[in-house]
Every structure is written in C-alpha cells, then in structure tokens.
C-alpha cells in the first residue's frame, strides 16, 4: 500500500487560494463512524483537522487599568462579575484570564445568594461583555497608599 503525503507548503497554498478544506475533529469522527469511508479515503477530502474551539483558551486574557482613586489605593484582590482577576503587578492594574471560572464566595460577591450562582460563567464571558460595552460588577479589596 502506498502512503499518501501532502506537504505543509501544499496545504498552505490551498488555503491561500481559498480552496483549503478544514474540518473539526467532530466532523472527522462523524465521517469515520458512518462506516462508508476509510481514513485513507478521507485524506483526499480534507487538508486540515482542527481540534481546538473558538472559545476562550488559557492564554487569552485582558489587562485592565481601573483608574486611580482619591486617596490612592493598591488593589490586593479583585473580582469582575465574580471572576477573580490577578491584582499583583500595579496599583490599580488587574489581569483577567479568559479561562478563570467564577468564584462566588463571600469575598468575591457578598451580595449574591446561592440562587444567583452562574457556574458556567468565567473570564471569557466577562471579557466579551467588556468588549461589547456592557456593565459588569467590580469588587476589590485594597489598601490606601501614598505611592501614587
């Protein structure tokens, strides 16, 4: 049996020409599960199999400067819509990771009850809301400082 091959340059050329054939891993599984086609046959039908998603991934994040107050403060802990944001690198700068889950504990959201929990909400949702110009809740714990 002769093994079929295709170079990365050939695939990139097809994509650049608008002729690239891209499937998700789910589409590949569907085709294989149909039982009417072998993996070797599929080689001729597809150029790229994607295994990722279009969802926020662990390296996606947003760095926000929340603006200084009077008197100046240093944020020590911060939550945006109940999602923890890292607050250790600037007085009022926070980093919100897209894959960070909501943390509805008494520090993050003391005003929320168990019925308010949104377990499928996380940093990616908050970033999406910020980009869309929607209002989000901010809760921060900090200390006054004279450095600013």
Phi, psi of 95 (to 5 degrees): -120, 125
> How far is Cα 63 from Cα 80, in angstroms, rounded to an integer?
12
Alpha carbon distance 62, 123 (integer Å):
9
Cα–Cα distance between 114 and 124 in angstroms, integer?
22
Question: One of 39, 42, 147, 148 is an active-site residue; which one?
Answer: 147
Do residues 49 and 20 lie in contact, with contact meaning Cβ atoms separated by under 8 Å?
A: no
Decide if 147 is catalytic: yes
The set of catalytic residues is 147
């Amino acid at each position: 049996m002769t093994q079929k091959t295709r170079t990365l340059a050939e695939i990139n050329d097809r994509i650049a020409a608008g002729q690239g054939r891209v499937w998700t891993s789910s589409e590949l599984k569907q085709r294989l599960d149909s039982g009417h086609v072998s993996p070797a046959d599929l080689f001729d039908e597809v150029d790229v199999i994607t295994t990722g998603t279009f969802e926020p991934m662990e390296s996606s994040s947003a760095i926000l400067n929340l603006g200084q107050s009077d008197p100046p403060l240093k944020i020590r802990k911060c939550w945006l819509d109940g999602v923890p944001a890292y607050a250790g690198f600037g007085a009022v700068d926070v980093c919100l990771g897209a894959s960070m889950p909501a943390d509805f504990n008494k520090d993050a959201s003391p005003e929320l009850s168990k019925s308010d929990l949104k377990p499928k909400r996380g940093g990616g949702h908050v970033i999406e809301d910020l980009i869309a110009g929607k209002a989000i809740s901010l809760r921060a714990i900090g200390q006054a400082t004279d450095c600013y």
